[in-house]
């Protein structure tokens, strides 16, 4: 294929604008708690319409960069600067709340997926899951490969559920939040425990135990959530501005992993 000229849609424009406003905040042109100029003033400055600007601000609000207070204005969030990372969609600080929200959105979808997959997974799909877990166990020291493989395992379960909407929802969530998923794994800490839990889920799927598969998925994701809830980015940062490459290569401070695990209520269950 030759060069592709992508049409500029309002969606692209809003993404681009969100990125630029975020960059201004990263450059400290506006600090935590500062009120941004009015919508009308910013729209004029950027040369865009107010609806596009509002859309961009909503995107930034969704990832915790700004607070939109109706009747008052748009403020730079208080959590600003605690942690910054590169998202392939656009760079934005990931707040603890965003990570917890993400995992909580996944929980009901994935419990349902696992339950249905125990009934509906084909032999080929179970074989693919086994292959993915073998790959994961051979790559416990390679964060990048491990993260991709683990996500693929979760997606394969959703696919095997036979419910195309659940599978697509999970697909969208994991592609929108790749870096966040990655971050969750680093905060969550124990790759080996995580891997053991995946094997236990697959075991339930292979034995066609639908309730058990759902329960194991629930325990797995709730355990991840509990660690995230306790995570304090100020005490144990896992990423800093421009550390995207370090994050991708797995060069995370060991403290984050250890502390999060110590604080984990799941420490002694010996699964
Ligand atoms: Zn998992």
Instruction: Over range 219-247, report the average pLDDT.
Output: 66
Domain hosting residue 225, numbered range: 96-262
CA of 34 to the centre of ligand 1 (A): 38
Instruction: Count the Cβ atoms, other than its own, within 10 Å of residue 51.
Output: 12
CA of 90 to the centre of ligand 1 (A): 25
Residues 180 and 65 in one domain: no
Question: DSSP per residue over 144-157, as a string?
Answer: HHHHHHHHHHHHHH
CA of 93 to the centre of ligand 1 (A): 23
Q: Which CATH number covers residue 112? A: 1.20.120.530
Residues 154 and 227 in one domain: yes
**pLDDT tops 60 at residue 267:** no
CA of 92 to the centre of ligand 1 (A): 24
- Identify the weakest region by mean pLDDT among 126-140, 147-161, 251-265: 251-265
CA of 240 to the centre of ligand 1 (A): 25
Give the pLDDT band of residue 39 (cuts 50, 70, 90).
confident
* Residue % of the chain over a pLDDT of 70: 74
CA of 241 to the centre of ligand 1 (A): 27
Residues 55 and 179 in one domain: no
CA of 63 to the centre of ligand 1 (A): 23
Give the pLDDT band of residue 89 (cuts 50, 70, 90).
very low
Tell me which of 24, 46, 76 is where a domain ends. Answer: 76
CA of 226 to the centre of ligand 1 (A): 14
**pLDDT tops 60 at residue 242:** no
pTM of the model: 0.56
**pLDDT tops 80 at residue 130:** yes
Task: Give domain status of residue 164, yes or no.
Answer: yes
Residues 251 and 136 in one domain: yes
Task: Assess contact for 161 and 116: CB atoms under 8 A.
Answer: yes
pLDDT the model gives residue 237: 61
CA of 160 to the centre of ligand 1 (A): 16
**pLDDT tops 60 at residue 198:** yes
Task: Give domain status of residue 132, yes or no.
Answer: yes
Give the pLDDT band of residue 197 (cuts 50, 70, 90).
very high
Residues 105 and 217 in one domain: yes
CA of 223 to the centre of ligand 1 (A): 10
CA of 206 to the centre of ligand 1 (A): 17
Residues 27 and 118 in one domain: no
Q: Measured between alpha carbons, how far is residue 174 from residues 72, 154, 181 in Å? A: 34, 10, 7
Residues 120 and 225 in one domain: yes
CA of 243 to the centre of ligand 1 (A): 24
CA of 128 to the centre of ligand 1 (A): 16
pLDDT the model gives residue 256: 37
Q: Is 170 exposed, middle or buried (0-12, 13-18, 19+ CB in 10 A)?
A: buried
Residues 40 and 163 in one domain: no
Quick: pLDDT tens for 11-25: 667 777 887 888 788
CA of 59 to the centre of ligand 1 (A): 27
Provide φ and ψ at 158, rounded to 5°. Answer: -60, -40
CA of 230 to the centre of ligand 1 (A): 18
Tell me which of 30, 47, 76 is where a domain ends. Answer: 76
CA of 193 to the centre of ligand 1 (A): 10
**pLDDT tops 70 at residue 244:** no
| Helix extents (H) in the chain | 10-26, 39-46, 50-62, 96-120, 123-138, 143-160, 164-176, 178-188, 191-206, 210-230, 244-249, 254-262
Instruction: Over range 132-136, report the average pLDDT.
Output: 97
Task: Give domain status of residue 87, yes or no.
Answer: no
Instruction: Over range 50-79, report the average pLDDT.
Output: 80
Residues 226 and 134 in one domain: yes
Task: Give domain status of residue 82, yes or no.
Answer: no
pLDDT the model gives residue 136: 96
pLDDT the model gives residue 34: 86
pLDDT the model gives residue 15: 75
What is the spatial distance between Cα 241 and Cα 220, in angstroms, rounded to a whole number? 30
Average pLDDT over all residues of the chain: 77
């Amino acid at each position: 294929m030759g060069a592709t000229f992508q049409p500029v849609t309002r969606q692209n424009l809003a993404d681009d604008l969100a990125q630029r406003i975020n960059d201004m905040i990263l450059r400290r042109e506006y600090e935590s708690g500062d009120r941004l100029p009015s919508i009308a003033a910013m729209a004029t400055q950027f040369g865009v319409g107010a609806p596009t600007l509002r859309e961009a601000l909503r995107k930034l609000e969704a990832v915790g960069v700004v607070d939109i207070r109706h009747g008052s204005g748009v403020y730079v969030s208080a959590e600003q600067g605690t942690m910054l990372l590169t998202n392939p969609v656009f760079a934005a600080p990931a707040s603890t709340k965003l990570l917890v929200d993400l995992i909580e959105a996944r929980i009901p979808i994935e419990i349902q997926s696992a339950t249905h997959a125990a009934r509906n997974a084909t032999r080929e799909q179970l074989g693919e899951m086994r292959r993915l877990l073998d790959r994961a166990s051979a790559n416990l020291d390679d964060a990048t490969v491990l993260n991709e493989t683990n996500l693929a395992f979760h997606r394969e379960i959703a696919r095997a559920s036979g419910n195309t909407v659940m599978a697509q929802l999970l697909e969208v969530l994991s592609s929108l939040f790749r870096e966040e998923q990655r971050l969750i794994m680093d905060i969550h800490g124990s790759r080996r425990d995580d891997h053991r839990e995946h094997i236990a889920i697959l075991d339930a799927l292979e034995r066609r135990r639908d309730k058990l598969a759902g329960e194991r998925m629930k325990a797995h994701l709730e355990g991840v959530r509990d660690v995230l809830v306790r995570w304090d980015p100020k005490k144990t940062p896992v990423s800093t501005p421009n550390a995207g490459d370090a994050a991708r290569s797995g060069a995370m401070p060991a403290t984050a992993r250890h502390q999060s695990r110590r604080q984990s209520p799941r420490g002694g269950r010996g699964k």
